A and B are shown apart, each in its own frame.
Chain A
Amino acid sequence: MSAHENAQEGYDFAHPLPLPLLAGTFLVLTLLTVITVAQASFNFGSLDVLIVMVIATIKAVLVGAIFMHLAWDKPFNILCFIGSFVFVGLFIMATLFDSRQTAKDDIPVLDDAVVAAPAEM
């Protein structure tokens, strides 16, 4: 079935990505993974999570833009996908704010081994 109506409108819309680009992306992703693992052995304190998340986001953007063809995709598709992350951000931030506000309402757990340790009796 070779329907190669090349001049036909709506045909030949395929956009194959060059292999070196794909391979390069894979190498960069692997490198970033190595960096992520390596940074875990250093103590950056509270910056830790931030660094890790920034690296992960760079990786996610690479996967999205190149492997998922988002860089060449229709703007509406990009909008949908990015939009979902905006809502995820809102969701997590709002819930964390709420959690912070109510964190004082910690209910102690009393049925645990630690509480029942002999020294405390």
Chain B
Amino acid sequence: MATTDAGLVSDAHEQPGHGHSDHGHGDHDHPSYLAHHFDTPEQQFDSGKLGMWLFLVTEVLFFSGMFCAYAIFRAWRPEVFEGCSQFLNTKLGAINTGVLLFSSFTMAWGVRCAQKEQHKLLTVMLATTLSCATIFLGVKAIEYSHKWHLGLLPAGLFSYDPSNPHPVGGPNYLAYICAPFAIITAGVAVWLVVSFLRGAKFQFECAKPLLVVCLCFFVGVGLGTILESGGEEGHHEGDHAAVAAVEGEHGGAAEHGEEHSHEKEGEHAEEPAADAVVDLPAAGAMVNESADLAVIERLASDATNTGLQDELAARRAQSQQSAGGILYDVTDDTSATIASAPEDVLRPSRAGVFFSIYYCMTGIHAIHILAGIGVLVWLLVRSIRQDFNRNYFGPVDYVGLYWHIVDMIWIYLFPLMYLIR
């Protein structure tokens, strides 16, 4: 393409020598969808696509920062992630995964429709993709509001209390999340009615699918509520089970300052040992009651009596600490000493970090969904206007790529967050 053309072409139609007139498509020199700085629709499409891929690369790198934080904290405190993950509702996460996968499918189908110029079907596909997006957000609203209610908040705000897991009162978080969506839905409904009454056909055509899309948010909220309450027993049992598991493993350490036989799976076996510990003299009294101590020491000299050995170690550590000594834990085995207290997964500073990462990753993902909804609405309006054809389907394709990468991120987020066992 002659570079000399570039500067002086203001209107391609006035330049017979320009562009593809030499290829013989006279009056249709530059279709309205082809920007005049591109030679061909394909060049235009490829340029746009390269730009989109580069944007997606930045998106991947952007999310990788959060995945990195996740990897570090999980490597650091695997038990915190394991424990806190029990508070995430796998059913809701799995439903959301399915919804997103389906929206990816309809989006890919939409691209196909745009390429094949099936305008009506393209509108349907885009509306379906949008509806899935709002269902996803609706389910997310249930998840978030439930957790906020329990006090499962990011570090600093984390206020979950295992002994009072369902605090009464507190703001109705769900209502706050739903309010903006309710306002938008009402607005679209008004728009629909007004455009119908005024006979604005195009606006009416736009408002129709958009109202369905808005209502789908509440379908998502309903779906989430049913799954959350339908599995009410299961889930709250899950809540309690999570607490019980956490308490069973580490509660003893928190209450008595000394851990018993450290068998992660054998929670039941630990209970009698815990009782035995309660009967023993208080922690600070160790030095004074040497008779008791001697008995314990003698019993602990039996190699099989690991419970008492651990206890002894714990007591040594305690007396050392009560004497003002600073404990340097040189062994890897912290299970039987006071140092095991930090293992409590529900310590606000630790559980809070998990929920910080959880809210950060899923929240930014949700913001991407919102952005996706924005561009998809733009596509929906254009598809109703029948802007796209086999030579100009770029925008649908690019938004599709964006939508798929949001889906791809969720594909990794779901098992990493919800399925830690």
Known: A109-B349, A113-B348. A77 touches B50 (CB 8 A): yes
- Residues of A in contact, count (CB < 8 Å): 69
* CA distance in complex: A100, B72 (Å): 9
A contact residues vs B (CB 8 Å cutoff): 1-5, 8-17, 19, 22-23, 25-26, 29-30, 33, 36-37, 40-41, 43, 48, 52-53, 55-56, 59-60, 63-64, 66-69, 73-74, 76-77, 80-81, 83-85, 87-88, 91-92, 95-96, 99-100, 103, 108-109, 111-115, 117, 119-120
* CA distance in complex: A69, B114 (Å): 14
Minimum distance in angstroms from A35 CB to a CB of chain B = 11
Restricting to B340-359, which residues have a CB under 8 Å from any CB of A?
341-342, 344, 347-349
Q: Are A11 and B40 in contact (CB under 8 A)?
A: yes
A9, closest chain B residue (CB): B40
* CA distance in complex: A80, B51 (Å): 11
Q: Are B348 and A26 in contact (CB under 8 A)?
A: no
Known: A11-B391, A14-B390, A22-B108. A81 touches B53 (CB 8 A): yes
Residues of chain B with a CB closer than 8 A to A95's CB: 68, 71-72
Q: How many A-B residue pairs have CB under 8 A?
A: 196
Minimum distance in angstroms from B324 CB to a CB of chain A = 14
Q: Is B97 an interface residue (CB 8 A)?
A: yes
Q: A-B pairs with the 8 shortest C-beta distances?
A: A10-B40, A26-B105, A14-B115, A88-B64, A52-B415, A84-B57, A40-B419, A16-B115
Q: Are B23 and A8 in contact (CB under 8 A)?
A: yes
Known: A2-B389, A10-B39, A95-B71. A60 touches B408 (CB 8 A): yes
Extra A-B contacts (11), CB below 8 Å, given A37-B94, A67-B104, A80-B57: A10-B42, A16-B112, A63-B404, A69-B111, A84-B61, A95-B71, A114-B347, A115-B341, A117-B254, A117-B257, A120-B341
* SS of B interface (majority): helix
* CA distance in complex: A59, B409 (Å): 11
User: Which of A3, A29, A96, A99 has the most chain B CB atoms inside 10 A of its CB?
Assistant: A3
Q: Are A8 and B25 in contact (CB under 8 A)?
A: yes
Residues of chain A with a CB closer than 8 A to B42's CB: 10-11, 13
Q: Are B421 and A40 in contact (CB under 8 A)?
A: yes
- Residues of B in contact, count (CB < 8 Å): 77
* CA distance in complex: A25, B106 (Å): 12
* CA distance in complex: A16, B111 (Å): 8
* SS of A interface (majority): helix
A15, closest chain B residue (CB): B115
Q: Are B97 and A26 in contact (CB under 8 A)?
A: no
Residues of chain A with a CB closer than 8 A to B391's CB: 3, 11-14
Q: Is B304 an interface residue (CB 8 A)?
A: no
Residues of chain A with a CB closer than 8 A to B401's CB: 68
Known: A59-B411, A68-B401. A14 touches B393 (CB 8 A): yes
Q: Is B231 an interface residue (CB 8 A)?
A: no
Q: Is B33 an interface residue (CB 8 A)?
A: yes
Contact of A88 among B50, B53, B67, B416 (CB under 8 A): B67
Q: Is B5 an interface residue (CB 8 A)?
A: no
Restricting to B13-30, which residues have a CB under 8 Å from any CB of A?
20, 23, 25, 28
**9 A–B contacts from the bound complex (CB under 8 Å):** A11-B391, A13-B391, A30-B98, A33-B97, A52-B415, A56-B414, A56-B415, A81-B56, A114-B341
Contact of B54 among A64, A80, A117 (CB under 8 A): A80
Known: A22-B112, A40-B90. A92 touches B76 (CB 8 A): no
Residues of chain A with a CB closer than 8 A to B253's CB: 114
Known: A10-B43, A11-B40. A63 touches B411 (CB 8 A): yes
Residues of chain A with a CB closer than 8 A to B31's CB: 1, 3
* CA distance in complex: A91, B33 (Å): 41
Q: Is B147 an interface residue (CB 8 A)?
A: no
Q: Is B294 an interface residue (CB 8 A)?
A: no
Residues of chain B with a CB closer than 8 A to A16's CB: 111-112, 115-116
* CA distance in complex: A25, B411 (Å): 14
Q: Are B45 and A120 in contact (CB under 8 A)?
A: no
Residues of chain A with a CB closer than 8 A to B35's CB: none
Q: Is B270 an interface residue (CB 8 A)?
A: no
* CA distance in complex: A66, B112 (Å): 12
Residues of chain A with a CB closer than 8 A to B112's CB: 16-17, 19, 22
Minimum distance in angstroms from A103 CB to a CB of chain B = 6
